[in-house]
Each structure stands twice: as structure tokens, then as C-alpha cells.
Amino acid sequence: MKRTVLLIGIPFIVALYFTFVISQKACDRVMANHPEKPIDFNHQSHLLTYFPDNGLSKDDCGACHDYYDNGRFKGLPTVGDCTSCHDPNGPVTGAPASTPRRKPFLSGYKDTDKPWGSHARQPDLVYFSHKVVMTATFEDGRKKQRCSNCHGDKAGSTNTAMLKGKMLMGQCEDCHTALHISNKCAVCHD
Amino acid sequence: MAIDLDLCTGCGDCALACAQENNMPVFEDDSDLPKRVQFLDLMKVSNDRDAAYPDVEVCYIPKMCQQCEGNDPKNPKPPCVSVCPVVATDVGDDGIVSQIWSRCIGCRYCQASCPYEARAFNWWKPRYEGDFKKSLNPDVSVASRGTVVKCQFCSHIWKRERDRAVAGGELDINAVTYTPACVAACPTRAMVFGDLDDPGSELSRLLSREKKRTFRLIHTIDEMKEKDEKKWKAMMQAKNYPNPKVYYLTSKAWIKEMMKFK
């Protein structure tokens, strides 16, 4: 009896363990969003070093992540947005530390190209409007929402790793409930 | 919404614009009913099937989801909402009955309870013929197989217009106006879309001006208001009283007669 347990039970448990590990990895690969990140972009150095030297506030996310005229969020900046500071004809080395230098990587792309993907993507059936959420204010003028509430401490990050996991519907609903905003389905879905 | 049937020529632009806007496949041969998924049905009705030439009259009735309210405006409960076991369909703050396909389990209770047959079931994954796939609307997600879909008065256009208004500095959500695809496509301006709660809107003014021609697809109950007000109130309190928000206008008596619940 003991031998049967040893011969069948232990290999079964070991096989089960590896099956779980493999399937979890596979599920993670399929479900999670793995965008292409060719540049190890350093948010912290941009915000703390270059922004104050160029007359921008250090929490001015809109300098790169802006809106279109009709209120649509542009998302990640294009190569053209990068080269507006990183002058394509400027020096690669030797300039003062506060001056953006030329990045040879960017010269291989057109101005409208966007060679990087985003971690933060909503499914097709969700209509999320950055403009509406970021414009909402309390009576005393304070903003109801800040970028970091959903995106985490992106401003302090030094690489392109994912800071927070998937944004689940419950997180949206928690804020809506706390701020007395309607939680009806059609507010976000269509 | 109000639809003037006297102006409607039955061209079918509304149905086509609706299918194009909401990513529903348009087939050359539309006779396969289960395959066809349409939010807006263009019904052809005739006064008498056997009538000969001078007496025959034909009318086209665009019929979409009537965005019912139920008998309590404060707590809207249309017939389809109260039967849904998974809260996939609900009435929004703007009074539009929403249908979220990702939540739908495909039990089709709502389809059975809808008095207007305004809901469609996706028996198959949508199959697009020709170049249709290149012109899909990125604002509307394509519903998966085995779910119920319905007209939502192009609520994605409303969200888009709301964004544009906020970007322009307009923060009052009631000031945002938009036009659904079917209304925008109508060449004779037979369809009018607007805010029923706002007495100054084009729609409210049209309805108050054309009271005699107006009817809804619950004509029997509306008619009772003049005949017997007590009975009318009792009928309105009936369970599953739909109370639709789509008004039809016609000057022909036979259409009104035909559209009664019998």
C-alpha cells in the first residue's frame, strides 16, 4: 500500500505542480499585454532634471501625454514629440547636462511613428475618456482624479516595467462610488 | 425620437447607416433571418393584402429599440431589464436602455420579453462580405457569438460628443447634443432626435405641435386616455407596461389601426 502511494502519488503531485506552473505562465503570456518597449525610458530623470530647467512643472504629464482637439487622449508621444526636444541635428555628447541631446535611435523613424506600445490598454468595449475624468473637479477647485491614481508612481519610475497590474472594473467602480458618480453600465461601456 | 411616417419614403438609408455605424454585416441576400443581425428593421406594411391598384396603400415603418421606460419614471424597469438574470441590460441615467454584450450569457429572456422584437441574437460571429471589414467603426466593439445585441441610440456617438464638449470647455452634460446614425442618414428628415425632458428641444416642440398625428406602438393604451382616464391609469400600472420613447407621426388612420396591440 505504502509503495503504491510512493510510486503513483508522488510522481502525480510533481507532474501536477509542473502542469500548474506551465499553464500559469502560458495564461499570463496570453492574457497580459506585453508591449514593445525599445527604449528604457526614464520618467524620473525627465521630470526632475529636464522639466524644471525648461520651464515646466515636474508634475506636468500633459507636456508629452496630451489631448487632440476633440478631447481624445493621444496616449504615448510620437517620435516627433521626442525630437521636438531631442534636436535631430544636435550634438550626441558634449552638451550641458540640462540640454536634451540628439538620440541616434530616433533618426530611424518618421515623425508620426510610435515604435513603443503601452501597458495601459482597455478592452474594446470600454470607452474611457481621459479628458472627462481629468477635468472633473470638486466645488473648491481640486481635481477629482490624478494620473497616479490609476497609473501608479510613473513619474518616479526609472525604467519601463509595468507598475500596476491590470486595471480591473472594480477599481473604476470604487472611485465612481466614492465620488458619487454614476456606476451605470452605459457610463463606460457601449 | 420621433419618426414622421408621412415623410418616410422607405429608402432604407437608416437601416444601412445603422449597420455601418454599429459594425453589423450587410449581406446582399438578406433573406437568411437568423444570420441577419439588425438593430433597425424597416417594416413594409400595406393597408390590405388583397387590395387592387387604386385602393392599395403602402407605408414603411423604421422600427428599432423603443427605449422603454416602464410604468415608474423614477425607477425605470422596461420589460427586458427586469428579466435579465445577469444585469447585462440596464437603463442608463440618460434613459437609454444599455446592453453590455460581454456580460450577456445568451439566455435570450430579454429577446422573448421585448414587445417590439427589437433585440437580435448573434448566432454566429459576424462575417463581413467584401471590403466591409476595412470600414469598421473603431468606437463600437464587435459583439461575440452567443450574445444579444440591440440599438442603443448610438450611445458611442454621445460619448464622443461629450468628449468634444468637455475639450471645448462645456461641462454641463445636458447641453451635449448628438445625432444617431439613422437620423443623420435620413434624406427626407423624417426622423427627429432630441431630449424629451427639455421642453425647448426640436423634438418636444414637434410633438406638442403635432399631437393629433402622434402615436406610439402601444396605441391601445394611449388611446384610452381620452376615452376612460381611470382605466388608462390602471392599464399604465400593469406589469411590463413598456412606455416607449419613440413616437411615430402619421395622418393615415389605417396605420394607427394596424399598429394597435390586438
For residue A30, give the C-alpha cell. Answer: 496570453
pLDDT of the residue at B262? 64
Q: Residue B243 and residue B221: Cα distance in Å, rounded? A: 10
**Pairwise CB contact (< 8 Å): B98 & A184:** yes
Q: Residue A5 and residue A44: Cα distance in Å, rounded? A: 57
**Pairwise CB contact (< 8 Å): A125 & B164:** no
pLDDT of the residue at B139? 87
Write out the E strands in chain B. 2-4, 41-46, 58-63, 89-91, 97-99, 120-121, 148-149, 191-192, 214-215, 247-249
pLDDT of the residue at B133? 86
pLDDT of the residue at A27? 78
B241: left (phi over 0), alpha (psi -120 to 50) or beta: beta
pLDDT of the residue at B114? 92
Which residue range(s) make up the domain with B81? 2-258
Q: How far is A102 from chain B (nearest CA, A)?
A: 34
**Pairwise CB contact (< 8 Å): B167 & A190:** no
**Pairwise CB contact (< 8 Å): A70 & B167:** yes
pLDDT of the residue at A12? 93
Q: What's the average model confidence in pLDDT over A33-59?
A: 83
Predicted ipTM of the assembly: 0.78
Residue A54 pLDDT class (50, 70, 90 cuts): confident
Mutant choice from B139, B159, B160, B161 vs A, greatest count of A C-beta within 10 A: B159
Q: Residue B32 and residue B15: Cα distance in Å, rounded? A: 16
Pair B211, B162: CB distance under 8 Å: no
What φ, ψ does residue B2 adopt, rounded to 5°? -125, 140
Q: Residue B127 and residue B134: Cα distance in Å, rounded? A: 13
Pair B12, B42: CB distance under 8 Å: yes
From residue B49, alpha-carbon distances to A135, B5, B55, B63, B158 in Å are: 59, 19, 11, 21, 41
Q: How far is A54 from chain B (nearest CA, A)?
A: 26
Measured between CB atoms, which of A69, A127, A132 is closest to B166?
A132
Total CB pairs under 8 A between chain A and B: 70
Measured between CB atoms, which of B93, B152, B156 is closest to A184?
B93
**Pairwise CB contact (< 8 Å): B163 & A185:** no
Q: Residue B152 and residue A114: Cα distance in Å, rounded? A: 34
Mutant choice from A124, A173, A189 vs B, greatest count of B C-beta within 10 A: A189
CATH of the domain at B109: 3.30.70.20
Express as a percent the part of chain A with pLDDT over 90: 12
Mutant choice from B102, B154, B163 vs A, greatest count of A C-beta within 10 A: B163
pLDDT of the residue at B151? 93
Number of domains in chain B: 1
For residue B17, give the C-alpha cell. Answer: 447607416
pLDDT of the residue at B29? 72
**Pairwise CB contact (< 8 Å): A186 & B94:** yes
| List of chain B residues with pLDDT < 50 | none
**Which chain B residues are closer than 8 Å to A132 by Cβ?**
162-163, 166
Query: Residue B85: how many CA atoms within 13 Å on its side-chain side?
Result: 5
**Pairwise CB contact (< 8 Å): B90 & A185:** yes
**Which chain A residues are closer than 8 Å to B171 by Cβ?**
135
